[in-house]
Chains A and B, each alone.
Chain A
Amino acid sequence: EAGVAQSPRYKIIEKRQSVAFWCNPISGHATLYWYQQILGQGPKLLIQFQNNGVVDDSQLPKDRFSAERLKGVDSTLKIQPAKLEDSAVYLCASSSIRGSETYNEQFFGPGTRLTVL
């Protein structure tokens, strides 16, 4: 079974530029998550999709971050304009829906390392 795919793996941009990240979840996984991991910290959820609907975006800085999952499969996360503090690894994860959500495990992709100069 193929894992979560992400691209690009690395991105370097100047502040105020825009950037987009792509994620393809594990086949059949209805739930997709974007996390931000700043160096030395644990991942922090930015947004959660179930199929193509947003379930939780309460920690997404909506003035500069946006995300979509139009066909309920792959997803794009965009930052516009980027700030220095957005330098981090952006992780995509997915989980299946089986029984209670309480027990569903999340599996992470390789991540995109963003450096904002």
Chain B
Amino acid sequence: QKEVEQNSGPLSVPEGAIASLNCTYSDRGSQSFFWYRQYSGKSPELIMSIYSNGDKEDGRFTAQLNKASQYVSLLIRDSQPSDSATYLCAVRGRGSTLGRLYFGRGTQLTVWP
């Protein structure tokens, strides 16, 4: 069983700060990684995908991947109250489970004004 671990939080940051969300995974051969945002009572919304080591930036979001350390993170710059949500890390399976996403339990982020 592949595992994806996230700090459950809650993580609380002030408006304008950088929020840092972390995720580790157990399958060293994993190739595809995703961050989803889930507002309370809503479904997961894809915000970032990353496949290569290093950083990938999209607006205020930066995903970081380190395959050697089996670690993926999401940085949210200039955090806004509207960023308050649960952030789910997902890792795609391999081989016979190539289509399957393995999710962590999520980190709850609160951005206070």
The interface size of chain B toward A, counting residues with CB under 8 Å, comes to 25
**Residues A42 and B49 in contact, CB atoms below 8 Å apart:** no
* In the complex, chain A residues whose CB is within 8 Å of the CB of B96: 56
B4 is an interface residue with CB less than 8 A from chain A: yes
* In the complex, chain A residues whose CB is within 8 Å of the CB of B103: 41-44
A116 is an interface residue with CB less than 8 A from chain B: no
B46 is an interface residue with CB less than 8 A from chain A: yes
CA distance A50 to B36 in the complex (A): 23
CA distance A58 to B88 in the complex (A): 23
**Residues B99 and A108 in contact, CB atoms below 8 Å apart:** no
Tell which of B92, B97, B98, B99 has the most Cβ of chain A within 10 Å: B99
* In the complex, chain A residues whose CB is within 8 Å of the CB of B44: 43, 91, 108
Contact of A106 among B31, B101, B104 (CB under 8 A): B101
With A42-B90, A56-B96, A103-B51 known to touch, is A111 a contact of B43 (CB < 8 Å)? yes
* In the complex, chain B residues whose CB is within 8 Å of the CB of A19: none
* In the complex, chain B residues whose CB is within 8 Å of the CB of A103: 32, 49, 51
Chain B: minimal CB distance from A23 (Å): 12
**Residues A109 and B98 in contact, CB atoms below 8 Å apart:** no
Annotate B1-43 by CB proximity to A: 1 below 8 A, 0 otherwise. 0001000000000000000000000000001101010000011
**Residues A101 and B49 in contact, CB atoms below 8 Å apart:** no
**In residues 30-52 of chain A, which contact B (Cβ within 8 Å)?**
31, 33, 40-45, 48, 50
CA distance A3 to B32 in the complex (A): 23
B55 is an interface residue with CB less than 8 A from chain A: no
Known: A44-B103, A103-B32. 15 other contacts (CB 8 A): A40-B105, A41-B103, A41-B106, A42-B88, A43-B44, A43-B88, A45-B99, A45-B100, A50-B99, A56-B97, A89-B43, A102-B32, A102-B92, A103-B49, A109-B43
Chain A residues near B (Cβ < 8 Å): 31, 33, 40-45, 48, 50, 55-56, 58, 89, 91, 95, 101-103, 105-111
Chain B residues near A (Cβ < 8 Å): 4, 31-32, 34, 36, 42-46, 49, 51, 88, 90, 92, 96-101, 103-106
